[in-house]
Amino acid sequence: MKKSKKIIIIILAVIIAIILALVGTFFILTHIGKLQFHDGDTHISTDAVEIEDENTIIYNNKKYTLNKNIVSVLVMGIDRDNVNENYGSGNNGQADVIFLATIDTKTKKTCIIPLSRETMVDVNLYTSDGKFAGTKREQLCLAYAYGNTTEDSCQNVLTSAKRLLYGININSYMAIEMKGVSKLTDLIGGVELTCLEDSTDSKYFFKKGEKLNLKGEKAIAYIQYRGDDTEANARRMARQKQFMSAMMNKTGNAILSDFSKLSKFYNTLTPYFSTNVSFAQITYLAQNCLTVNFGDAIDYKQIDGTLTQGEKWIEFEADKDSVLQAVIDVFYTPVE
What pLDDT, on a 0 to 100 scale, did the predictor assign at position 278?
74
What pLDDT, on a 0 to 100 scale, did the predictor assign at position 84?
60
Per-residue pLDDT, averaged over 131-154, amounts to 88
Q: What digits encode the pLDDT tens for the residues 91-138?
A: 667 788 899 988 888 888 888 899 999 999 999 988 877 788 899 999
What pLDDT, on a 0 to 100 scale, did the predictor assign at position 36?
65
User: 169-173, 218-222, 283-287, 296-300: lowest mean pLDDT where?
Assistant: 283-287
What pLDDT, on a 0 to 100 scale, did the predictor assign at position 312?
80
Cα R_g (the chain), whole angstroms: 22
Q: What percent of the chain has pLDDT over 90?
A: 25
* Nearest alpha carbon to residue 140 among 99, 192, 195: 99
Per-residue pLDDT, averaged over 65-74, amounts to 89
Is residue 20 pLDDT above 50, yes or no?
no
pTM to 2 decimal places: 0.78
pLDDT band for position 22 (50/70/90)?
A: very low
CB atoms within 10 A of CB 111: 20
What pLDDT, on a 0 to 100 scale, did the predictor assign at position 221?
86
User: 19-33, 186-200, 247-261: lowest mean pLDDT where?
Assistant: 19-33
Is residue 5 pLDDT above 80, yes or no?
no
What pLDDT, on a 0 to 100 scale, did the predictor assign at position 11?
57
Nearest 5°: the CA angle 105, 288, 255 is 145
Superfamily of domain 38-334: LCP protein (3.40.630.190)
| Alpha helices (H) along the chain | 3-37, 150-164, 178-187, 216-224, 232-257, 261-269, 279-289, 294-297, 320-331
Q: Length of the chain in residues, anyone? A: 336
Position 277: which residue type? V
- DSSP label of 197: S
Write down the mean pLDDT value for the chain.
80
Per-residue pLDDT, averaged over 141-150, amounts to 86
Is residue 10 pLDDT above 70, yes or no?
no
Is residue 67 pLDDT above 80, yes or no?
yes
Q: What digits encode the pLDDT tens for the residues 313-328?
A: 888 999 999 999 999 9
Could you give the 3-state DSSP secondary structure of residue 236? helix
pLDDT band for position 18 (50/70/90)?
A: very low
Per-residue pLDDT, averaged over 236-245, amounts to 84
What pLDDT, on a 0 to 100 scale, did the predictor assign at position 115?
93
Helix axes 232-257, 216-224, angle to 10 degrees: 140
pLDDT band for position 272 (50/70/90)?
A: confident
What pLDDT, on a 0 to 100 scale, did the predictor assign at position 127?
80
What are the sequence ranges of the domains in the chain?
38-334
Query: Burial letters for 43-82: b for 16+ Cβ neighbours within 10 Å, e otherwise?
Result: bbeeeebeeeeeeebebeeeebebbeebbbbbbbbbbbee
Q: Is 204 exposed, middle or buried (0-12, 13-18, 19+ CB in 10 A)?
A: middle
